[in-house]
Amino acid sequence: MDRLKMLEKEGLLKSRQGSRAVGKFLQNKLAVLGLMVFAVILLASVFAPLITKYDPAMIDLRSRLSPPSWQHLFGTDKLGRDVFARVLYGGRISILVGFGGALGAALVGVSLGTYAGYKGGWLDRILLRVSEIFMAFPQIILVLLLVSILGQSLWNLLVIFTITGWGSVYRMTRSQMLSIREEEYVQALKAFGLSDALIAYKHMLPNALGPIMVNLTLSTAMFILEETALSFLGLGVPLHIPTWGNILNAAQDLTILQEAWWIWVPVGIVISAFVLSINFIGDGLRDAVDPTQQG
Partner 1 sequence: MLTYTLRKLLMLIPMLLVITFLIYVGLELTPGDAVSYMVGPDALANMSQEKLNELREALGLNDPFIVRYLRWLGRALRGDFGYSLTSGVPIKDIVFSRLPATLELSVAALLFSTLLGSILGMASALKKGSIMDVSLTVAGMIGVSIPQFFFALVSILIFSFKLGWLPSGGRTMPGYTTFLDRLPHLILPALVLGITMTAGVMRYSRSSMLDALSKDYIKTARSKGLPEWRVNLLHGFRVALTPVVVLVGFRLPMLIGGSVVVEQIFQWPGIGKEFVAAVRGQNLPLVMMIALFTVTAVLVASFLVDLITALLDPRIRLE
- Positions that interact with partner 1 (CB under 8 A): 30, 129, 132-133, 136-142, 144-145, 147-149, 221, 225, 228-229, 232-235, 248, 251, 254, 257-258, 261, 264-265, 268, 271-272, 275-276, 279-280, 283, 295
For residue 17, CA distances in Å to 4, 14, 34, 185, 247 come to 14, 5, 23, 19, 44
Q: With respect to partner 1, which residue has the nearer C-beta, 11 or 138?
A: 138
Alpha-carbon distance values, 179 to 84, 126, 173 (Å): 49, 20, 10
Q: Which is nearer to partner 1, 70 or 122 (CB)?
A: 122
Helix-helix angle 154-180:205-232, to 10 degrees = 150
d(CA 9, CA 28) in angstroms, rounded, equals 32
Nearer to partner 1, 99 or 118 (CB): 99
- Please, which residue, 110 or 256, has the CB nearer to partner 1? 256
To partner 1, the closest distance from the beta carbon of 187 in angstroms equals 26
Q: Which residues have a Cβ under 8 Å from the Cβ of 201 and sit 6 or more positions away? A: 114, 115
Give dist(CA 223, CA 133) in Å, integer: 20
Sign of CA dihedral 106, 108, 113, 119: positive
Between the alpha carbon of residue 24 and those of residues 20, 37, 39, 288, 290, the distances in Å are: 6, 19, 19, 5, 11
The least CB distance from residue 276 to partner 1, in Å, is: 4
Q: Looking at beta carbons only, is 176 or 279 nearer to partner 1?
A: 279
> How near is the Cβ of 279 to partner 1 at its closest, in Å?
5
Rounded CA gap, 267 and 216, in Å? Answer: 24
CB of 132 to partner 1, least distance (A): 7
Quick one: 89 or 232, whose CB is closer to partner 1? 232
CB of 172 to partner 1, least distance (A): 18
User: Do 241 and 93 touch, CB atoms closer than 8 A?
Assistant: yes
Least distance CB 90 / partner 1 (angstroms): 14
Computed on alpha carbons and rounded to an integer, the radius of gyration of the chain in Å comes to 23
Measured from the CB atom, is 54 or 280 closer to partner 1?
280
Nearest Cα to 283, choosing from 180, 213, 205?
213
Q: Compute the least distance from the CB of residue 238 to partner 1, in Å.
A: 14
Instruction: Classify 76 as helix, strand or coil.
Output: strand
Q: How far is the CB of 162 from partner 1 (least distance, A)?
A: 17
Q: Considering beta carbons, is residue 61 or 254 the nearer one to partner 1?
A: 254
